[in-house]
């Protein structure tokens, strides 16, 4: 498996500095938070996008994915939601990233059947566009669909190879799923896995990997046992927790912890 970290852990840091951190600390890739306050976002012009791709190539680091905030099951018209996904797909294609991350974001006032149908309809349309550009759109286990079983209700309706799942291990754990259950549900569609650690269900402040309660060892074990050989991406949510320790000082320890889990599962 290859290791990456998210720029959510180093909010606003210029891309050259992000890439230096990845190279210096032994990470193979970077997940880019695609928000206007970050250096890489959909507002970049063609030249700027080409520069981003060139910087990644020069650093020997891979752009893993573009982490967008589209809520695919949100109320309202389909058009603006689909267009937002397309802008993310365009950005991913232009910088050489294989994945785009989106959220479910369903209205809790609507039935699950209705919101699943909305999400699947929009994803099906976006999938055709993404396929033409060689990008996969990944639905994260998050908010209204935090369990793998929830996400699979949508993905099963879509049934397109350019739509998949992003397994956020915190959300499936908070939903009460065991790692083996989550993997079994997501395996046919799994794009990559976001790892993290927290103190508990009532305190999701980010901690160094291995210092909290999330079942990271079990997640890595089930992935290894089934021969899954994709990406593990550390999503350290520093952006939302200003008092959390800086990610820069934790990167070596995080890589060593994940490497140890991988060795123990081999």
What pLDDT digit, counting tens, does each position of 201-241 carry?
Answer: 999 999 999 999 999 999 999 999 999 999 999 999 999 99
The verdict on residue 212 lying in a domain is: yes
Cβ atoms < 10 Å from Cβ of 115: 24
CATH number, residue 50: 3.20.20.150
What pLDDT digit, counting tens, does each position of 5-47 carry?
Answer: 999 999 999 999 999 999 999 999 999 999 999 999 999 999 9
- Mean pLDDT taken over the chain: 97
- Per-residue pLDDT at 109: 87
The verdict on residue 87 lying in a domain is: yes
**Residues whose CB is less than 8 angstroms from the CB of residue 48 and which lie 6 or more positions away in sequence, other chains included:** none
The verdict on residue 214 lying in a domain is: yes
Count of domains forming the chain: 1
Yes or no: say if 234 and 30 are a contact pair by the CB < 8 Å rule. no
Per-residue pLDDT, averaged over 101-105, amounts to 97
The verdict on residue 120 lying in a domain is: yes
The verdict on residue 261 lying in a domain is: no
**Residues whose CB is less than 8 angstroms from the CB of residue 63 and which lie 6 or more positions away in sequence, other chains included:** 29, 30, 32, 52, 53, 56, 92, 95, 96, 97
What pLDDT digit, counting tens, does each position of 63-92 carry?
Answer: 999 999 999 999 999 999 999 999 999 999
Q: What is the pTM of this model?
A: 0.97
- Band (pLDDT 50/70/90 cuts) for residue 265 is confident
**Residues whose CB is less than 8 angstroms from the CB of residue 145 and which lie 6 or more positions away in sequence, other chains included:** 73, 104, 106, 139, 151, 153, 154
What pLDDT digit, counting tens, does each position of 155-192 carry?
Answer: 999 999 999 999 999 999 999 999 999 999 999 999 99
Distance of CA 3 to the CA centre of its chain: 13
- Per-residue pLDDT at 240: 94
The verdict on residue 262 lying in a domain is: no
Res. 266: pLDDT tops 80:
no
Q: For residue 43, give its domain range.
A: 2-249
């Amino acid at each position: 498996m290859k290791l990456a970290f998210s720029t959510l852990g180093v909010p606003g840091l210029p891309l050259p500095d992000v890439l230096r951190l990845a190279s210096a600390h032994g990470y193979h890739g970077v997940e880019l938070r695609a928000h206007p306050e970050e250096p890489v976002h959909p507002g970049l012009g063609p030249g700027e996008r080409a520069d981003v791709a060139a910087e990644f190539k020069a650093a020997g680091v891979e752009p893993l994915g573009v982490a967008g905030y589209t809520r695919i099951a949100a109320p309202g018209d389909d058009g603006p939601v689909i267009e937002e996904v397309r802008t993310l797909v365009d950005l991913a294609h232009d910088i050489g990233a294989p994945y785009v991350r989106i959220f479910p974001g369903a209205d809790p006032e609507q039935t699950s059947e209705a919101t699943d149908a909305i999400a699947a309809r929009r994803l099906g349309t976006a999938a055709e566009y993404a396929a033409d550009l060689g990008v996969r759109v990944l639905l994260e286990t998050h908010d209204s669909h935090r369990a793998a079983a929830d996400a699979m209700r949508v993905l099963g309706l879509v049934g397109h190879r350019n739509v998949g799942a992003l397994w956020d291990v915190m959300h499936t754990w908070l939903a009460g799923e065991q790692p083996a259950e989550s993997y079994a549900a997501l395996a046919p569609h799994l794009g990559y896995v976001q790892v993290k650690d927290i103190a508990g269900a009532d305190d999701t402040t980010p901690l160094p990997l291995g210092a909290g309660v999330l079942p990271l060892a079990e997640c890595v074990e089930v992935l290894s046992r089934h021969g899954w050989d994709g990406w593990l991406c550390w999503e350290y949510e520093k952006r939302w927790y200003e008092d959390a320790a800086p990610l820069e000082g934790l990167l070596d320890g995080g890589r060593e912890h994940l490497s140890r889990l991988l060795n123990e599962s081999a």
